Amino acid sequence: MKKTAIMVVGLFCGSWLMGANYVVDASHSSVEFSVKHLSVSNVKGSFGDFSGSFELDGKVIKALQGEAKVASINTNSDGRDKHLNQSDFFDVKKFPKATLSLIKHDGDKLEANVTMKGITKKVDFKVSLNGPIKHPKTGKDIVALSLEGKLNRKDFGIGADTGNAMISDNVDIKIELEAAEQ
């Protein structure tokens, strides 16, 4: 009996120590950005087609992978969106997706590799984690991640010939993810 109890406790603790895997629910999530236009106003945009997953061990993010289809960009201007997909900006024909992958998570700081136009750079994010809670209908654990960071678009070759006075080099990134345990 004692041996069985030890095995049960070991199996429970072993699965807990491995962490929990979560898949992003895109219908309750967003990938957004903001840039200054003519140094006076903020132009906001988002990517509508994205996916992701992550692994949590308690409140520590152990793995994080995300992908956005660049052609799904939306800045509330069809003409601007078409231009952003051209070779001088995102070059969607050659580079159809942007990706994010975890380097390190420590408290409210997260480092990730961001890849756009075939160029990978480290980007720092402020992160907050909410949950888990039990979904009232599915019974699955639900968590939410909020990531806020800043990157330089020219580091990725995006609009390299467009001056900072026209469109700011710095781009604010805000990613809100709700995910269900798998």
Per-residue pLDDT of the chain (182 residues; tens, 9 = 90+): 444 333 333 333 333 445 899 999 999 999 999 999 998 999 999 999 999 999 999 999 999 999 999 999 999 999 999 999 999 999 999 999 999 999 999 999 999 999 999 999 999 999 999 999 999 999 999 999 999 999 999 999 999 999 888 999 999 999 999 999 99
For the chain, helix (H) and strand (E) counts, in that order, are 2, 11
Residue 159, domain member (yes or no): yes
Q: Mean pLDDT score of the chain, rounded to an integer?
A: 91
The pLDDT assigned to 18 comes to 58
**Residues 6+ positions from 118 with CB-CB distance below 8 Å:** 94, 95
pTM, whole model, 2 decimals? 0.87
Residue 60, domain member (yes or no): yes
Tokens of 31: 């990938």
Residue 112, domain member (yes or no): yes
CA distance between the termini of the chain: 32
List the CATH number of the domain containing 107: 2.40.128.110
Is residue 157 within 8 A of residue 119, CB to CB? The reply is yes
